[in-house]
Chains A and B, each alone.
Chain A
Amino acid sequence: MKKIILIIIYSFFWKNFLKFFIGLKYVNEKTLKNKKQFILIANHNSHMDTMAIMSAIPSRYIHKVHPIAARDFFGGSLFKKILMRYLVNATLIQRDRDDPNNDPIDSMDKMLKKTRSLILFPEGSRGVPGVMAKFKKGLGYLIQRNPEINVIPVYLDNVYKTLPRGKNLILPYNCSIKFGDPIKFKSMEMDDILLSSEKAMQKLMK
């Protein structure tokens, strides 16, 4: 049931809306086609980012892909929670790691062990357009625990212009979403992981 809702929303509505009305161009989105499980990392400047990425995911396993969202921002009311759960397929996590019983890395790790895929915004929150902030360490911990999973960088080029931060009017703008090839890590050191992911992202930015 959830799968059908998600397919209707993303593969039909958002995909066509973004393609024909907004002017979003999908670049190399076929790279997702024959991968069962992956972690997508993307730059984050606007709420449209999640919609754009979800609309590019093949409908066959869209129900298994979960955007990661901050509980303190999106988990406010019950309505918001239900909306996030059923219409965005999001997983809400704690932003900080103060509570050891409720570690965000643990909950994301659990999702990956259940063969789910994740969409992460490793900059932590919506940043300044065009400037890539330092990636959070959480990405590194997650990759260290799941070294065999494909990590695919996604660059959203000008997508934020359709819905800039603080605005609530969606307007068309010619923009694109670029998928990179899976990142190859030299080693499982934290610095190495973060550096290679940042480099992969920078390569897509050009």
Chain B
Amino acid sequence: MNKIFNSVNLIAEIQWVIAIILAILVFATILFWFWNRINPSKLVDEMQLRTRSWWVMCIIFLFASIVHPVVTYLALGFLSFLTLREVYSLLNLREVDRSVLFFCYLSIPIQYYFAFKGFYTLFLIFIPVFMFIIVPFLLVLTGETKDIIRSMCILPTSLMLGVFGISHLALLINFPEMNSNGVSGKALLLFLIFITEANDIMQFVWGKIFGKHKILPRVSPNKTWEGFIGGVISTTVIGCLMGFLTPLNTWQLIAISSSMAVFGFMGDAIMSAVKRDFGVKDMSSAIPGHGGILDRVDSLSTTASPFFHLVYLILITS
């Protein structure tokens, strides 16, 4: 009886989040539509394009995360796949690396299978421990040592960010050993994605409105101290408001949300530096208005694993 009650309760919470997300999207769509009517500019056009892409992304995400857990795993695995494909298409790897790339792609289904089955330890060590050694050795097996260092650095790093990082979202779904605390994995997943994306948007908005002092002038001229601080503060507030999705208390929520804002910023900055090195503005043109897949998930790939482990730590110590 208690179980049924819990699951119904959970659905109510998730319904709340869906309602909030849809409300924000409707609000943004109407806002930019009127703004475009009154004062058309290039910025508003871009905002409208971005909002339209947000609609598509939100609908795909909500569909994938609500229908059935298996669909969620498959969708997240596909997201990892798209990320890797984008990285490897951009980075001009050597032709001899092709056979190793195959094994990098192969690690995606393995990693998500571990998440699906809840093999917690295997999940944690597969990429940082095993693939970290296997991938460079496979590169050695190709016999070509020219420029091998570059590939040895790129491939494990891409696996860490694109597969290990993002697959923590999948691991959140069946947050193992924690069910006695009334923790719902799906709610935690929604919470994490909500505050990470809110952080992206907030940093962008604060930076656009008040941005003056550049924080990383040589890497990304769009990032400002005003945007960063405003983003951290508003993300923390949003995190506290969305706290009903988590089993955390207010202080823990403040700590988690603010650190997620910082981690999200870091992921954004790392990808900006990579893009700057390659002289491109966006990774690809997969999502209209946003750039590539990686331009959207760069912050998720660095918030997912810290979030999971911090929440895990808090819950097992408290």
Residues of A within 8 A of B (CB): 23, 158, 161, 164, 167, 169, 171-175
B95 touching A172, Cβ below 8 Å: no
Cβ of B15 < 8 Å from any Cβ of A?
Answer: no
Give chain B residues whose Cβ lies under 8 Å from the Cβ of A174.
85-86, 89, 284
Closest to B85 in A: A172
Give chain A residues whose Cβ lies under 8 Å from the Cβ of B101.
171
- Report the minimum CB–CB distance from A158 to chain B (whole Å): 8
Q: How far is the CA of A161 from the CA of B94 in the complex (A)?
A: 11
Which one, B86, B89, B95, B105, contacts A164 given CB within 8 A? B95
- Report the minimum CB–CB distance from A8 to chain B (whole Å): 24
Of residues 172 to 217 in B, which have CB atoms within 8 Å of A's CB atoms? none
Query: Please, what's the 1-or-0 string for B93-109, where 1 marks a CB less than 8 Å from any CB in chain A?
Result: 00100110110010000
Mostly helix, strand, loop or mixed at chain B's interface?
Answer: helix
Of residues 18 to 44 in B, which have CB atoms within 8 Å of A's CB atoms? none
Q: How far is the CA of A173 from the CA of B82 in the complex (A)?
A: 10
Q: How large is the interface on B (under 10, 10 to 19, 20 to 34, 35 or more residues)?
A: 10 to 19
B85 touching A173, Cβ below 8 Å: yes
Cβ of B312 < 8 Å from any Cβ of A?
Answer: no
Mostly helix, strand, loop or mixed at chain A's interface?
Answer: loop
Give chain B residues whose Cβ lies under 8 Å from the Cβ of A161.
89
Give chain A residues whose Cβ lies under 8 Å from the Cβ of B99.
169
- Report the minimum CB–CB distance from A174 to chain B (whole Å): 4
Cβ of B88 < 8 Å from any Cβ of A?
Answer: yes
A172 touching B105, Cβ below 8 Å: yes
Closest to B81 in A: A172
Of residues 105 to 131 in B, which have CB atoms within 8 Å of A's CB atoms? 105
Give chain A residues whose Cβ lies under 8 Å from the Cβ of B82.
23
Give chain B residues whose Cβ lies under 8 Å from the Cβ of A169.
98-99, 102
